[in-house]
Amino acid sequence: MQMTKYLIILGPPGSGKGTQAEIIKDKFDLFLFGTGDLMREEAKRGSEIGQKFQAVWDRGQGELISDELVDKFVDQKMQEIDLSKGVIFDGYPRTIKQAENLVQILKTKPENIVVVNIVVPKDLLIERMSTRRVCPKCDKIFFRAEEQKIKSCDDCGSALIQRQEDQPETIRKRIEVYEEQTRPLIDYYKTNGVLVNIDGAPPIDEVAKEIEQKLQEILK
């Protein structure tokens, strides 16, 4: 019997994780569980749980939504999803507690969960993100904008800006927070699941190819 495929994607800010999650979803015909997007959608819908998310965000203290609430949401959402396809999780789990709950929610064992961990050296992440500029009007992102002398958006003509979150010091901080939060999770999956480390330094299509090759061996 073909087992349902459960994947998790991990990677620091600037690792291209979101892009790779989309590619994997298409190549392996999975449901992409984009936790952040789904939570924002839920808040917009104004459901009971959505209102609780909104309340935390409105407080604006950079406070995290509790494990309990996130797990409850994932559990609810999973019941709405066609599971014959398999799922790739992006942005969940973030803590060991959530990882342990995920096993319960999926009614599976950790060894049936494949974790794609995109690894990129810190210096490269900082360089990638600090050289990108954004259109304040349509949010289009331009990489290495200054090097290419791109000053305005080719879609709407607005002058490009550097976001606060893309300042080198802010980036360094975000990466450190990510590493601190994720290290226990990586250790957990190293011993309990199937952890696949991917070199995220090469261009997007090369990284995608490496992921595809490694996943094909594991998921066949």
Q: 107: alpha, beta or left, given left = phi > 0 and alpha = psi -120 to 50?
A: left
CB of 16 to Zn ion, least distance (A): 22
For 43, other C-beta atoms within 10 Å of its C-beta total 19
| Cα distance between residue 77 and residue 75, in whole Å | 6
The DSSP secondary structure of 97-120, one letter per residue, reads: HHHHHHHHHHTS-GGGEEEEEEE-
x/- track of binding to Zn ion for residues 121-150 (CB under 5 A): --------------x-xx------------
| Cα distance between residue 93 and residue 186, in whole Å | 11
35: tokens are 């936790």
Catalytic residue chosen out of the listed positions 25, 77, 128, 132: 132
CB of 37 to Zn ion, least distance (A): 21
Q: Is 174 a catalytic residue?
A: yes
| Cα distance between residue 138 and residue 121, in whole Å | 30
Q: Is 128 a catalytic residue?
A: no
188: tokens are 């957990």
CB of 97 to Zn ion, least distance (A): 41
- Give the nearer residue to Zn ion in terms of CB position, either 58 or 154: 154
Q: Is 94 a catalytic residue?
A: yes
Q: Is 132 a catalytic residue?
A: yes
| Cα distance between residue 11 and residue 18, in whole Å | 9
Name the 3-class secondary structure at 49.
helix
> Which among 38-46, 82-90, 157-165, 184-192 is the span making contact with Zn ion, rule CB under 5 A?
157-165
Should residue 176 be labelled a site residue for Zn ion when binding is judged by CB under 5 A?
Answer: no
Q: Is 144 a catalytic residue?
A: no
Residue of 41, 111, 146, 155 that binds Zn ion (CB under 5 A): 155
Catalytic residue chosen out of the listed positions 17, 77, 128, 133: 17
CB of 181 to Zn ion, least distance (A): 33
Contact 140, 134 (CB under 8 A): yes
Residue of 49, 120, 125, 153 that binds Zn ion (CB under 5 A): 153
Hey, which residues are catalytic here?
Answer: 17, 94, 132, 163, 174
The residue ranges that bind Zn ion (CB under 5 A) are: 135, 137-138, 153, 155-156, 158
